[in-house]
A = this chain, B = another copy of it.
Amino acid sequence: MTIGIGLLGLGTVGAGVAGILASPGGRHPLVGELELRRVAVRDPQRPRALELPAELLCTDANAVVDDPAVDIVVEVMGGLEPARSLILRAIAAGKPVVTANKAVIARYGQEIAAAAAAKGVYVLIEAAVGGGIPIIEPLKQSLGANRIQRVSGIINGTTNYILSRMAAEGAAYAEVLADAQRLGYAEADPAADVQGGDAADKIAILSGLAYGGPIERAAIPTEGIDRLDARDVAYAAQLGYVVKLLAVAQHLGSANQEGGDCQLLDVRVHPTLLPKQHPLAGVHGVNNAILVEGDPVGQVMFYGPGAGAGPTASAVVADILNIAGIQHVSGNQLQAPLDPLLAANSWRPCRLVDSSFTSHRNYVRLQTSDQPGVIGKIGTCFGEAGVSIQSIMQFEQTGGALGAGLQGLAPADAEIVVITHEVSEARFRAALTEIAALEEVAAVAACLRTL
């Protein structure tokens, strides 16, 4: 049995996929059953590292999808359109789809899933999150016995690279970003990475699988690292924390809604302080890691390269293999029922709760005049609002801890860092408003969630 593959896009990932298909030796023998039959490219004349027969290349992506020799459509062109339309076109033709396109899946996942379910074809997306790390399949299959409590991940390599270097070198964000762009770790337009949008796409996908229902991508509160001050990274380190851009999807409970149970979720992306012993704290550079907490499994973590041609192509071909493997079971019948684990259709409604109803720990940096009693006043404000404090420290501008109440600096030089215990966002915000109004407090300079 040979299975015809049609490739939409021959960029980094597409070339990686073609390279694997062209060299099946030493891989799973099922790879040898896959045959690259047609490839859509923008410019067939462009020189490429991987030589493909000229007759495989064409510029009409629709023709690749429609080609009767193409059994599985692999979309690795990226971008929203025409990727979305091509995926839907393949589904309409009854052809299973493998895609690495997190942006399309995060935004049009429901539309695509509905079309796929109606036609009875698979749309597999292992490469859309975490590059080569197997995380989609574990959430769909290996962890299916669990009630998932939380999924938290470092799922954007560019920002983790920048944060790792900021922590190691004490360097400023803008400086490291410029260097990352020069080295090819960040794109010329870094917005999707540094503002958190890419991570939000990915946590929308992961939480949809973990909790069994579609997640409204646009409703995910998202904060990037582009306004992060090197000082907060340094203070966090002194207090035993590292700062990571964390994407988190937490299960809060369920609510009765129109007769059925609706899962209440807190899904968000923001720079977060992690204790240095936390399993995700040791994830450096462009690596990704996803921590899944469930009952009864406990904590399991998946770690590896979150991007790159090789890792992403590994995930794309894994999905192709899964479809090929299942076709063995159905005897290659096009109309066989789907494996419900692999198909991963939604099975219950999910809803994001407003952040003000969630509780968490906080790191706050305040710029204050350096007068005796400031720490006392701040502590009193938090205390009266019912916000319990874990630590409160005064720092010089240069970053050294002074301890409370030390004298002799110019008033503008004092910075006070507070780490709270877990508190509801509403209560915390109320306390912060009062503190900001204190005459000794010049500014609330930074506010970061803390695990």
B147 near A27 with CB under 8 A, answer yes
A298 near B311 with CB under 8 A, answer yes
A325 near B30 with CB under 8 A, answer no
A134-B145 contact in complex given A298-B310, A302-B302, A310-B298, C-beta closer than 8 Å? no
B298 near A143 with CB under 8 A, answer no
B296 near A304 with CB under 8 A, answer no
Interfacial residues of chain A within 94-148, with CB under 8 A of chain B in the complex: 126, 132-134, 137-138, 141-147
B-binding segment of A70-78, A152-160, A192-200, A315-323:
A315-323
**Shortest distance between the CB of A118 and any CB in chain B (Å):** 17
- By a CB distance below 8 angstroms, the chain B residues around A296 are 16, 19-20, 132, 309-311, 313-314
Contacting residue for A321 out of B31, B137, B145, B310, CB 8 A: B145
A338 near B329 with CB under 8 A, answer yes
A132 to B339, CA, bound (A): 22
B-binding segment of A179-187, A340-348, A408-416:
A340-348
A305 to B16, CA, bound (A): 34
**Shortest distance between the CB of A335 and any CB in chain B (Å):** 11
A126 near B145 with CB under 8 A, answer no
A295 to B25, CA, bound (A): 12
A304-B299 contact in complex given A28-B144, A329-B337, C-beta closer than 8 Å? yes
Interfacial residues of chain A within 24-80, with CB under 8 A of chain B in the complex: 26-31
A328 to B296, CA, bound (A): 26
**Shortest distance between the CB of A148 and any CB in chain B (Å):** 9
> How many A residues face the partner with a CB closer than 8 A?
63
A326 within 8 A of B: yes
Encode A1-36 as 1/0 by CB contact (under 8 A) with B.
Answer: 000000000000000100110000011111100000
Encode A207-225 as 1/0 by CB contact (under 8 A) with B.
Answer: 0000010000000000000
Chain B: which residue is nearest A348 at the CB level?
B29
- By a CB distance below 8 angstroms, the chain B residues around A330 are 329-330, 336
A156 to B297, CA, bound (A): 17
B300 near A133 with CB under 8 A, answer yes
Chain B: which residue is nearest A345 at the CB level?
B29
Contacting residue for A299 out of B29, B302, B305, B347, CB 8 A: B305
- By a CB distance below 8 angstroms, the chain B residues around A317 are 144-145
**Shortest distance between the CB of A319 and any CB in chain B (Å):** 9
A28 near B145 with CB under 8 A, answer yes
**Shortest distance between the CB of A181 and any CB in chain B (Å):** 23
From A134, A142, A295, A317, name the one whose CB has the most chain B CB atoms within 10 angstroms. A142
A93 within 8 A of B: no
A26 to B251, CA, bound (A): 11
A212-B28 contact in complex given A294-B314, A298-B310, A310-B297, C-beta closer than 8 Å? yes
A16 to B296, CA, bound (A): 8
A310-B295 contact in complex given A141-B322, A300-B303, C-beta closer than 8 Å? yes
A372 within 8 A of B: no
A282 within 8 A of B: yes
A300 to B310, CA, bound (A): 12
A23 to B142, CA, bound (A): 18
- By a CB distance below 8 angstroms, the chain B residues around A298 are 132, 304-305, 308, 310-311
**Shortest distance between the CB of A285 and any CB in chain B (Å):** 11
Chain B: which residue is nearest A316 at the CB level?
B145
A142 near B147 with CB under 8 A, answer no
B311 near A341 with CB under 8 A, answer no
A342 near B325 with CB under 8 A, answer yes
- By a CB distance below 8 angstroms, the chain B residues around A337 are 328-329, 331
A308 to B296, CA, bound (A): 10
- By a CB distance below 8 angstroms, the chain B residues around A28 are 144-145, 212, 341, 347
A301 within 8 A of B: yes
Interfacial residues of chain A within 172-190, with CB under 8 A of chain B in the complex: none
What residues of chain A have their CB less than 8 Å away from a CB belonging to chain B? 16, 19-20, 26-31, 126, 132-134, 137-138, 141-147, 212, 279, 282, 294-305, 308-311, 313-318, 321-322, 325-326, 328-331, 336-342, 347
Given contacts A28-B347, A141-B321, 7 further A-B contacts (CB under 8 A): A145-B321, A298-B304, A301-B302, A325-B341, A328-B339, A329-B329, A330-B336
For this complex, 14 residue pairs linking A to B, each with C-beta atoms less than 8 Å apart, are: A27-B144, A29-B212, A132-B298, A296-B310, A296-B313, A298-B311, A300-B305, A322-B341, A325-B342, A328-B337, A328-B340, A329-B336, A329-B338, A329-B339
